[in-house]
Amino acid sequence: MRPKRRRSRQRRGMTGLGDWIDETGWRLKKSRPSALSPSASGRASEDETRKQTAEAFIMEVGLFQTMLANAKGLILAALVSLGCWVIYTLYFHPLARIPGPKWWIISRIPYFRSITTGQFIHSVRALHERYGPVVRLAANEVSFTDPQAWQDIYGHHGGDRAFPRNPVWYQPALNGVHHILSASNSDHARIRHLLSHAFSERALKSQEPMIQVFFNLLIERLRPLADGRQAININDWLQYTTFDITGELEFGESFGCLEKGEYHPWIKVLLSNFRKIILFGASQLIPGLRFLVGLTIPKAVMQQRQQHFSYTVDKVSRRLARGNDPMRPDFLTYINRYNEDEKKGMSRAEIDSTFNVLVIAGSETTSTCMTATLHCLLRNPATLQRLQTEIRSTFAHDSDITFDSTIPLRYLNAVIEESLRLCPPAPTMLPRVTPAAGAYVCGYWLPGGTAVEISQYAMSRSYDNYSDPDRFIPERWLPDEKPNFHPHDARAHKPFSFGPRNCLGRSLAWMEIRCIICKLLWNFNLRMESPDYEWNEQGTYVMWDKKQMLVSLTPVKR
* 3-state secondary structure at position 232: strand
Rounded to whole angstroms, the Cα distance separating 315 from 542 reads: 25
Beta carbons of 509 and 369 less than 8 angstroms apart: yes
How far CA 552 is from CA of 146, 232, 301, 390, 532, in Å, comes to: 41, 6, 36, 22, 15
Backbone angles phi, psi at 460, to 5 degrees: -75, -20
Model confidence, pTM: 0.85
Give me the half-sphere count of Cα atoms (radius 13 Å) on the Cβ side of residue 211: 23
Rounded to whole angstroms, the Cα distance separating 228 from 431 reads: 45
- 73 conformational bin, left if phi > 0, alpha if psi -120 to 50, beta if neither: alpha
The model's pLDDT over 426-436, given as tens digits with 9 standing for 90+, comes to 998 889 999 99
Rounded to whole angstroms, the Cα distance separating 151 from 149 reads: 5
What does the mean pLDDT of the chain come to?
86
Radius of gyration of the chain (CA): 33
**Parallel, antiparallel or unpaired: strands 540-541 and 543-544:** antiparallel
The single-letter DSSP state of residue 283 is G
Give one DSSP letter per residue of 515-540, joined into a string: HHHHHHHHHEEEEE--TT--GGGS-E
Beta carbons of 522 and 556 less than 8 angstroms apart: yes
Q: How do the pLDDT tens digits run along the chain, 558 residues long?
A: 444 444 444 444 444 444 544 554 444 444 444 444 445 445 556 666 666 666 666 666 666 667 666 777 778 777 878 888 889 999 999 999 999 999 999 999 999 999 999 999 999 999 999 999 999 999 999 999 999 999 999 998 877 899 999 988 888 888 989 999 999 988 999 999 889 988 998 899 999 999 999 999 999 999 999 998 899 999 999 999 999 999 999 999 999 999 999 999 888 888 877 777 787 777 778 777 767 766 666 677 677 778 888 989 999 999 999 888 877 888 998 888 877 655 678 899 999 999 999 988 889 999 999 999 999 999 999 999 999 999 999 999 999 999 999 999 999 999 999 999 999 999 988 899 999 999 999 999 999 999 999 999 999 999 999 999 999 999 999 988 876 666 678 899 999 999 999 999 999 999 999 999 999 999 999 999 988 889 989 999 888 999 999 999 999 998
Beta-strand (E) ranges in 210-273?
232-233
Domain boundaries, the chain: 2-79, 148-555
CA 485 to chain centre: 34
| Alpha helices for 88-179 (secondary structure H) | 102-106, 109-116, 120-131, 148-154
Give me the half-sphere count of Cα atoms (radius 13 Å) on the Cβ side of residue 558: 12
pLDDT for residue 465:
95
Rounded to whole angstroms, the Cα distance separating 49 from 489 reads: 91
pLDDT for residue 52:
64
Beta carbons of 498 and 155 less than 8 angstroms apart: yes
Say how many Å lie between the first and final Cα of the chain, rounded. 110
Q: Report the run of H or E that residue 331 belongs to, with start and end.
A: helix 331-341
Listed residue (515, 502, 497) closest to 196, CA to CA: 502
Give one DSSP letter per residue of 171-223, joined into a string: ---TTS---TTTS-HHHHHHHHHHHHHHTSHHHHHHHHHHHHHHHHHHHHHHG
pLDDT for residue 159:
79
Listed residue (355, 361, 353) closest to 175, CA to CA: 353
Dihedral through CA 426, CA 313, CA 235, CA 275, nearest 10? -50
Neighbours of 400 (CB within 10 A): 12
Provide CATH code, domain 148-555.
1.10.630.10
Residues pairing with 237 in the sheet: none
CA 208 to chain centre: 31
Listed residue (360, 472, 485) closest to 422, CA to CA: 472
Residues pairing with 232 in the sheet: 551
Q: Report the run of H or E that residue 330 belongs to, with start and end.
A: none
Dihedral through CA 365, CA 370, CA 371, CA 374, nearest 10? 160
**Parallel, antiparallel or unpaired: strands 141-144 and 451-454:** parallel
Listed residue (360, 363, 361, 358) closest to 346, CA to CA: 358
pLDDT for residue 40:
46
Beta carbons of 442 and 152 less than 8 angstroms apart: yes
Beta carbons of 511 and 403 less than 8 angstroms apart: yes
Beta carbons of 225 and 232 less than 8 angstroms apart: yes
Annotated ligand binding at 503? The verdict is yes
Rounded to whole angstroms, the Cα distance separating 317 from 333 reads: 14
Residues pairing with 144 in the sheet: 134, 454
Beta carbons of 166 and 175 less than 8 angstroms apart: no
Neighbours of 162 (CB within 10 A): 20
pLDDT for residue 61:
61
